[in-house]
Amino acid sequence: MSIFIRIWFFFGLIILLGLWFMSYTFNQQVKPNVRQVVEDTLAENANIIAMLVAEDVHDNRVNTVQFDEKIQQALNRKLNATIWQHNKKEINQQIYITDAKGIVIYDSQGIATGQDYSKWNDVYLTLQGKYGVRSTRSYDLKGNDLGSSNSTMFIAAPIYYQVNQQQQLIGVVSIGKPNSSVQPYIQRSENQLFRQAAWIALLSLFLASLVAYWL
């Protein structure tokens, strides 16, 4: 084996290993960073909705047809937003509301009403005066785990109502968003990272060849 091949292989191996490590480390940060932004947005939305529905919860209007229609119209609102070259057309969120004991009194999907959610992390922590958050994996009809990309993140906020000049905790509102709804943004970042890494790798190997030839 010629000295040129040995030097080129040595430099190329070091460059490719360093590039792979940097790309892998950066790629591992993409998903957590995107989900942190989603969590931040859900926390704000949950607290806003908690303020808006406080009077309805206090007056026992959340189980009425009018309240459900209002929520469904908001969740089914059509969008036409181009976000980072991704065309977003619909809202991917769900809402459920519990009373002060953690019993679901409203569910936008209509499947959890009446169930005890007091042990679920988002509701339990919120009722304890803490920050309530949980991530629940999704399963198919056969009970197979669909993976973390198909899980749903839930962020909860306390519902307060002023009674006798005092803020009284009367329930919890929790907003869920499937992680699959942000997968297009993650995939776009990964594809862009792969293309850039490929070009840098080719350029690095070419420069390694020049250095090897010069030596």
Left, alpha or beta for 165 (phi > 0: left; psi -120 to 50: alpha)? left
pLDDT at 190 over 70: yes
pLDDT at 156 over 50: yes
* Number of alpha helices (DSSP H) and beta strands (DSSP E) in the chain: 5, 7
Local structure of residue 26 (DSSP, 8 states): H
From edge to edge, which strands make up the β-sheet containing 133-136?
104-107, 94-99, 166-178, 152-163, 133-136
pLDDT at 128 over 90: yes
d(CA 102, CA 114): 10
- E strand intervals along the chain: 81-83, 86-88, 94-99, 104-107, 133-136, 152-163, 166-178
Go through the chain and tell me how many residues it has. Answer: 215
Q: Given pLDDT bands bounded at 50, 70 and 90, which one contains residue 197?
A: confident
Output the pLDDT for position 141: 38
Output the pLDDT for position 84: 67
pLDDT tens digits for range 98-115: 999 999 999 999 889 999
Output the pLDDT for position 140: 44
Angle, alpha carbons 182-44-160 (nearest 5°): 140
Q: Given pLDDT bands bounded at 50, 70 and 90, which one contains residue 149?
A: low
pLDDT at 69 over 90: yes
The mean predicted confidence, pLDDT, of the chain is: 83
Do 3 and 204 meet the contact criterion of CB atoms below 8 Å apart? no
Higher per-residue pLDDT: 1 or 123? 123
Q: Given pLDDT bands bounded at 50, 70 and 90, which one contains residue 90?
A: confident
Report which residue type is found at 108: S
Output the pLDDT for position 142: 43
Do 175 and 153 meet the contact criterion of CB atoms below 8 Å apart? no
How many CA atoms, within 13 angstroms, populate the side-chain half-sphere of residue 214?
A: 7
Task: List, in order, residues 6 or more apart from 30 with CB less than 8 Å away.
Answer: 186, 189, 190, 193
Output the pLDDT for position 36: 85
Q: Given pLDDT bands bounded at 50, 70 and 90, which one contains residue 163?
A: confident
Local structure of residue 120 (DSSP, 8 states): S
Do 34 and 186 meet the contact criterion of CB atoms below 8 Å apart? yes
Supply φ then ψ for residue 175, to 5 degrees.
-115, 130
